[in-house]
Amino acid sequence: MLAPLFFGVLMLTHAQVWAAIDRLAEQASLSASGLAKRAGLDPTTFNKSKRITAAGRPRWPSTESISKALTATGTTLQNFVGLVEGSGIVPARAVPLLGFAEAGAGGYFDDGGFPAGEGWDEIAFPALGDEHAYALEVSGQSMEPAYRDGDVVIVSPAAPIRRGDRVVVKTRSGEVMAKELRRQTGKSIELKSLNTDHADRTLAMSDVLWIARILWASQ
């Protein structure tokens, strides 16, 4: 259920994302199952029967499955976004990049979690609907297996956040963490750890400086 986190910011539909996978397979002269096989996935991963759950809800392709399909076909993320929109290549723009460790320091964000100040590096990434989106580079092993050392996550401080979304949270004490949102009320926020070796967290909202949704991860 990770793909909507990224594509939702571009205001794209479930049908558009799956159509892009079909186009990707067609470009490689493969069927949907052939693409899955080449990517090292279960042959049924991209089948049309897998695109709707038994309860009738849309099932989105996972970040991992898309990443493996892109690698298997030698396709860049930028070109894949173009396939999603049906318009070919999407121009990239410079996205601010900072490490998680640096993100805990002051001066890089305003109180809303928007990038501010100076000292940011930059990476190229397809244009997003959120002009304030930025990238954080993972360091260490505390977020494995979801995110590994050196992975880059694209974060949006403006994207709406729902239960089950992966988020980056910064506390007023300067701690920065990536977790899964379990529950949020006016008084507290419950976060599930991405690494079972680390405890889940419940924070008072008064201790949270900002929370931003993870849109995409380079893995």
Splitting the chain (219 residues) into consecutive groups of 10 residues, what average pLDDT does each group show? 42 80 86 92 92 89 88 78 66 78 79 78 68 85 85 86 91 91 95 92 95 81
pTM: 0.59
DSSP 58-89: B-PPPHHHHHHHHHHHT--HHHHHHHHHTSSP
| Cα(117)–Cα(109) distance, integer angstroms | 7
Q: What is the pLDDT of residues 98-138, one digit of tens each?
A: 888 788 777 788 877 888 777 788 877 655 556 788 889 88
Which pLDDT score is estimated for 7?
45
| Cα(155)–Cα(212) distance, integer angstroms | 6
Token pair for 118: 């100076």
Q: All domains of the chain, ordered by start, with CATH?
A: 3-85 (1.10.260), 93-218 (2.10.109.10)
DSSP 134-156: EEEE--SSTTTTTS-TT-EEEEE
Token pair for 142: 């505390």
Contact 99, 137 (CB under 8 A): yes
Which pLDDT score is estimated for 87?
54
